[in-house]
Amino acid sequence: MWSCAEPRCRRRSGVLRPGERLVIGGLYRCVRNPVYVALLTVIAGQALLLGRLGLLLYPAVFWLFAAAFVRCREEPVLVRRFGAESERYGRAVPAWVPRAAAVAPAA
């Protein structure tokens, strides 16, 4: 949803359409998968807040599935759609551990 704050986000009849450009601004400058990272953080935080370390198994399992989906489905689609720009972005920005300082991929 962060990409909807970007001016390039397009809506038609209330349905999001794929953009014509790769979104690499905002949170996407710090980490490639900010939505998955946020969800993992919330799930792990709830486990810690409840004091039930056994619940940390859930974010670990979720990460395994999310990482497999991103690697096998999302990344190949982005490379096919955006080519070299997506590959440069993938090399410049980490997938799962956000950087404190935003990094702009080289053009």
Domains of the chain: which residue ranges? 28-92
Average pLDDT, rounded, for the chain: 84
The stretch 40-63 carries a mean pLDDT of 92
pTM value is 0.75
- For residues 19 and 3, the answer to whether their CB atoms sit within 8 Å is yes
The stretch 80-87 carries a mean pLDDT of 94
pLDDT of residue 4: 55
pLDDT of residue 69: 97
- 87-90 CB contacts, 8 Å cutoff, 24+ apart: 89/22, 89/24, 89/32, 90/32
Lowest mean pLDDT among 16-20, 29-33, 68-72, 92-96: 16-20
